[in-house]
Amino acid sequence: MGEWSIEEQMSDPEHKEPFKYYTKEADPFYSTDRWRHLRTAALNRSGYMCKYCARIGIRKPADTVHHIYPRKTYPQYQWCLWNLYPVCRACHNKLEDRTNGELTDEGVALMRRLERRRAVGLE
């Protein structure tokens, strides 16, 4: 779930080096029951629709759950439902650099927006 096959990587027109995608397959976190349940809760909360596409009025199914505050930098937020953002694969690639797992500028901007919303009690 949420991982790209070699065929998908090769056919992705948005990525120039398909075999260098960052993968979470080796991370045991993503195979735990606790993560699967939390992931399902996040997807249910959004109606299984991409929240990033929804910002501009596009309805597209979400197949990935993005950690707004990345797990490796903010492990204290890895289990927080408010930190999970259901997205389609294309939007996930806009938010996170798939070659190294780091946030892109758009991912950082999303994190900053959430910071502002939490500061005023909206999240």
More confident residue, 105 or 22: 105
CA distance 98 to 4: 10
Whether residue 107 has pLDDT greater than 70: yes
Give the 3-state secondary structure of residue 116.
helix
Mean pLDDT is lowest, of 20-29, 30-39, 60-69, for 20-29
On whether residue 14 sits in a domain, the answer given is no
On whether residue 104 sits in a domain, the answer given is yes
Whether residue 18 has pLDDT greater than 80: no
On whether residue 20 sits in a domain, the answer given is no
Whole-prediction pTM: 0.76
How much is the pLDDT for 15?
44
Average pLDDT over residues 38-52: 97
On whether residue 6 sits in a domain, the answer given is no
Range of the domain at 98: 25-119
On whether residue 70 sits in a domain, the answer given is yes
On whether residue 83 sits in a domain, the answer given is yes
On whether residue 38 sits in a domain, the answer given is yes
What are the backbone angles phi and psi of residue 47, rounded to the nearest 5°?
Answer: 70, 25
Bridge partner residues of 87 (DSSP) = 64
Task: Count up the domains in the chain and report the number.
Answer: 1
On whether residue 17 sits in a domain, the answer given is no
